[in-house]
Amino acid sequence: MTQSIGSAAKAIGITPDTLRYYEKLQLLPPPGRNAAGRRVYREEDLARVRFLKQAQALGFSLADIRQLLRLRESPTRASRTVRELAQRKRDALEVQMRQVKKMHAELTRLLALCTGSGSCCPILERIEGG
Amino acid sequence: MTQSIGSAAKAIGITPDTLRYYEKLQLLPPPGRNAAGRRVYREEDLARVRFLKQAQALGFSLADIRQLLRLRESPTRASRTVRELAQRKRDALEVQMRQVKKMHAELTRLLALCTGSGSCCPILERIEGG
DNA sequence: CTCGAACCTGGAGTGCACTCCATGTCAAGG
DNA sequence: CCTTGACATGGAGTGCACTCCAGGTTCGAG
């Protein structure tokens, strides 16, 4: 069963433009074409795109994903490289999480102080105070 | 006490380019100039930049900060608008936190499964499996 | 006095991940 | 048959926050 670029994109939840963009970046191999020169996607092609999107949802960049896809294709599926990639990504997420948490806590604290009615604003004061 | 753009930038921990960039975006008012036409920063100017950087550290974008700076300058310091800005930002951070947490948990789970030695890779399988 | 560092300006380039555009071809419904 | 919509291409534009460059002036140390 094959699909046009439009229905393939819809099935995955992206746009045809994005699909062509991934192809241009060589994240996806050129799909087949029909007699009229239009792209034809097989289930296998869709699986690759879904893999890409899943990895993206796990926080990997397209550059990371380029690696991941190559490893996925490789016959030995060199597990160690993937593991290292995942580990680095997890470390980065930890740092990000701490930062986001800190910002959130601070804003929560400031919002609790702030009635939104007074003429003085604890939020501005906090930012000013450093 | 006044500063050259270089020492002002250093004091804040940014580059002169960034300082000029903020000025171009009108996030900072044009500072004074000396006889030779070089920028001269007063303590007051530095305070504004520090405010900007603090707000940035709290997760505000430059567009947000433009608002914040205007409000800071305003005579009434309209607290309600600031509060709304902060609230929206906090909500966004909550969403972001949940996402980052989820990705982190998933990667941790996968890394626990993955020895990095076997020929099969749970991480790739997970991404494939959807 | 000289030399290198710091400064000035306007504008271009970066990185990420798309997104949109103009122009043209092709296919299916009414 | 005609229109409308999906598809094709190459290339430009978006948004964010810088960052760098060329070409010229000025400052401060020796």
pLDDT at B67 exceeding the cut of 70: yes
CB contacts, 8 Å: B72 with chain A: 124, 127-128
pLDDT at B37 exceeding the cut of 80: yes
- Per-residue DSSP letter, B61: -
Contact B72, A128 (CB under 8 A): yes
Q: Is A113 on the interface with B (CB under 8 A)?
A: no
Contacts 24+ apart (CB under 8 A), B111-115: B111/A83, B111/A86, B111/A87, B111/A90, B114/A79, B114/A82, B114/A83, B114/A86, B115/A79
Q: Å from B55 (CA) to D15 (C1')?
A: 20
> For chain A, which ranges sit under pLDDT 70?
74-79, 114-130
Q: Across chain B, what does the average pLDDT equal?
A: 84
- Residue A3, strand partner residues: A41
- Residue A41, strand partner residues: A3
pLDDT at position B63, please?
93
Q: How far is C-alpha B43 from the chain's CA centre?
A: 22
- DSSP3 helix / strand / coil % (chain A, rounded to 5): 65, 5, 30
Q: Å from B45 (CA) to C9 (C1')?
A: 22
Answer yes or no: do B58 and A106 touch at CB < 8 A: yes
Residue B112's Cβ-count burial label (10 Å; 0-12, 13-18, 19+) is: exposed
Contact A5, A12 (CB under 8 A): no
pLDDT at position B126, please?
64
Give the Cα separation of B127 and A47 in Å (integer).
Answer: 10
Q: Which of residues 33-62 of A touch strand D (CB under 7 A)?
A: 33, 37-39
pLDDT at B86 exceeding the cut of 80: yes
Q: Å from A6 (CA) to C16 (C1')?
A: 25
Nearest-CA distance A79 → chain B (Å): 5
Above pLDDT 90, what percent of chain B? 44
pLDDT at position A27, please?
96
Contact A117, B79 (CB under 8 A): yes
Least confident range from B8-17, B72-81, B100-109, B113-122: namely B113-122
Give the Cα separation of B6 and A67 in Å (integer).
Answer: 41
CB contacts, 8 Å: A127 with chain B: 51, 54-55, 58, 68, 72
Answer yes or no: do A82 and B54 touch at CB < 8 A: no
| B interface test, pick of A81, A93, A127 with most B CB neighbours within 10 Å | A127
Token pair in block for residue B57: 């550290």
- Per-residue DSSP letter, A59: T
- Residue A32, strand partner residues: A40
Q: Is A105 on the interface with B (CB under 8 A)?
A: no
Residues B97-125 have pLDDT tens digits of 888 888 888 888 878 876 655 555 666 66
Contact A111, B87 (CB under 8 A): yes
- List alpha helices for B1-130, DSSP H: 5-12, 16-24, 43-57, 62-73, 79-113, 122-129
pLDDT at position A124, please?
64
* A87: CB partners within 8 A, 6+ apart: B111
pLDDT at position B119, please?
53
Q: Where are the domains of chain A?
A: 1-73, 90-130
Token pair in block for residue B23: 């000025």
Give the Cα separation of B29 and A17 in Å (integer).
Answer: 42
- CATH code for the part of the protein at A1-73: 1.10.1660.10
CB-proximal positions of chain D, under 7 Å: 6-9, 16-21, 25-27
